[in-house]
Amino acid sequence: MAYMARAAMVSLLAFIVATLVCSATKPALAQSQPGGRVEVELELVLAVDTSASVDNAEFKLQMGGIADAFRHPEVVAAIAAHGQRGIAVTLVQWSAGDQQAQSVGWHHIFDVAGAAALARAIEAAPRLFAINTTAIGSALRYCARLFAGNRFSGRRWTIDVSGDGRSNAGLSPRAERDRAVSQGITINGLTILNGHLELERYYRVNVIGGPQAFVEKAEDFADFARAIRHKLVREIAPIVAFKTNPERYYSAQVQLSSNAPLR
C-alpha cells in the first residue's frame, strides 16, 4: 500500500510539473482590454510616398517590396517572436497637404497566414494620389491620429515613413514630428536616395524622432525591397525584443526554415 501511495504521489507530482511547464512555454494569447481593444506588441503605420516624383512603376516597386517583405521568413519570424499578441499594421498613401488616406486597413498579424493576408491586401491596393507636392508634415499629422481610432492597444506606436524627396508643402515636418513624439510615437524613415545623398540627413534632422528612431536608406527604387525588409525586422523585433524573448524568435526561424507552421 505504501508503494502504491508513493507511486500515486509521484504520478501526481509529474502531472503538476508537466502542467506548469506547458503553461510556462505556451505563447501568451492576445488579451482584450476594457472597451474591446486588443493588446499587441506594436502598432505600425506604413506611410508610402505617392507624390508626382514617384511614377507608376516606382509605386509598384514600393508596394510590391512591402508585400514581399511580409512574406519573408525574417519578417515573419520577427512577428512570431511576440507570440499571439503579434502586431497591428496599416498602410497609408500620402502626397500633397490634403492628400492622405488609408489604402489598407488595420490587420492583426501573429503568424504566416496573417502576414500573407496583409501582403495580398497591399498588392491589391490601387494608387490613390499623384500630386506634384510632397507634404511629409501633413502625412505625419494624419498617421498620428490613426493610433487613437483603432481597436488595438500597442506597447509601442511607430510610423514608418518612406519617401524620395524633401517636404515642399503642407505642415512643418519638424513640428509634426515633435507633436507625435510627445504623444509617445516613434517615427522612422526610409529614404529613397536616387542620387540625392543629402536626403538621409534631411530625414534625420526633420522627420525621425522618438525612442530608437532610425533612418534606413535605399539607393534607388530597385533597392527598396531590401531596405524595407531590413527596416521592418528592426522595427518589429528590435534588440530589446531579442534579449527578452530570444527563444521564441529563434524557434520561429527554425520552424520557418523547415516549413513548419508557426504557433
Per-residue DSSP letter, 52: T
Report the C-alpha gap between 143 and 154 in whole angstroms. 15
- pLDDT band of residue 28 (cuts 50, 70, 90) is very low
Q: What distance, in Å, lies between the first and last C-alpha atoms of the chain?
A: 44
Residue 121, Cβ density class (10 Å: 0-12 exposed, 13-18 middle, ≥19 buried): middle
pLDDT in tens, 155-181: 999 999 999 999 999 999 999 999 999
Report the C-alpha gap between 231 and 107 in whole angstroms. 19
Alpha helices (H) in 26-105, listed in sequence order? 56-69, 73-80
Give CA 214 to chain center in angstroms. 14
Report the C-alpha gap between 180 and 16 in whole angstroms. 48
pLDDT in tens, 174-194: 999 999 999 999 999 999 999
Kindly report the average pLDDT of the chain as a whole number.
84
CB 44 within 8 A of CB 70: no
Mean pLDDT score, 133-142:
97
Q: What is the CATH number of domain 41-257?
A: 3.40.50.410
Report the C-alpha gap between 52 and 131 in whole angstroms. 5
Lowest average pLDDT, out of 4-18, 104-118, 163-177, 230-244, goes to 4-18
pLDDT in tens, 70-94: 999 999 999 999 999 999 999 999 9
CB 120 within 8 A of CB 64: no
SS3 content of the chain, % helix, strand, coil (to 5): 50, 20, 30
Which pLDDT score, from 0 to 100, does residue 36 have?
80
Q: Which grid coordinates are listed for 57? A: 512603376
